[in-house]
Amino acid sequence: MQHVRILAADEYQGRRTGEAGNEKAAQYILNRFQSYGLDSLDGGYKQPFQFYSRFLKKVYAGNNIWGMVKGQLHPDTFLVVSAHYDHVGVRAGEIYNGADDNASGVGALLELARYFAKAPTSYSLLFVAFDAEELGLKGAAHFVDSPPVPLGNIKLNINMDMVGRNADAEIFICGTAHYPQLRPVLQPLSESQERIRVSFGHDQAGEKHSDDWTKASDHGCFHEAGIPFLYFGVEDHEDYHQPTDDAERIMPLFYQNVVELVLAAIQAFQLTP
């Protein structure tokens, strides 16, 4: 929650790609990765990129922020754990703080990085905070096009986007319809939850396009590259892409339970070949 309160504060001005608040958020994440002792990649913790928006007729400069915990048994095989840190900025004089979208995912990413930095796993973990998700998954697309490790060495992407609140205490796991081999690992975890309801879906053939989350966030770029993914997220709430998406509307107990579920999933996939 401390991360969410900081990143969703007005001083970050909605973290829009290319603006000062976004750069401030990137530096916050980078500093945490360094302080937790994560290893850098390609000589640093930052992957800069540029892209042109035809719709906005503007060239943007963004930065993915990454850090690695090297695996003890299979250091050259990777799980990528991700969340995007950008949001939509200021519109008509109102700050869109994006507490759930997606300061919640970044807070989870940071605490998972802190945890696994002290509890290394069999496979290597690559923690990535993506930029420019709101402008078309541009940071994730650049990562897949210019990966710091061979794409063939990435075993799985676990992506988090909006994991901080749900009135029914329900979290969705998207991806197992595409990659059914992942479901048996997750099923025992979903059935053991007492405080949250875990549902699988938003990835089935025949679902309405608006309900299909296969390409709804950064995991879509991994899917297009043939890399299995799992996406943890809630269904849209009334504050989605509204200036009312503030930190005080996050549900701390629900949020904690979701992050612990993701942690358990990462641990479970360390035991699969």
- Per residue of the chain (273 residues), give pLDDT as tens: 999 999 999 999 999 999 999 999 999 999 999 999 999 998 999 999 999 988 888 999 999 999 999 999 999 999 999 999 999 999 999 999 999 999 999 999 999 999 999 998 999 999 999 999 999 999 999 999 999 999 999 999 999 999 999 999 999 999 999 999 999 999 999 999 999 999 999 997 555 545 899 999 999 999 999 999 999 999 999 999 999 999 999 999 999 999 999 999 999 999 887
Q: Which amino acid is at 225?
A: A
Q: Domains of the chain: which residue ranges?
A: 2-269
Look at the block and give the residue holding tokens 């990966």: 147
Nearest to 84 by CA among 135, 144, 154, 146: 135
CA distances from 265 to 9, 150, 181, 248 (A): 30, 23, 14, 27
3-class secondary-structure state, position 71: coil
Superfamily, domain 2-269: Zn peptidases (3.40.630.10)
- What are the residues whose beta carbons fall under 8 Å from the beta carbon of 29, sequence distance 6 or more? 65, 85, 106, 110, 129
The model carries a pTM of 0.96
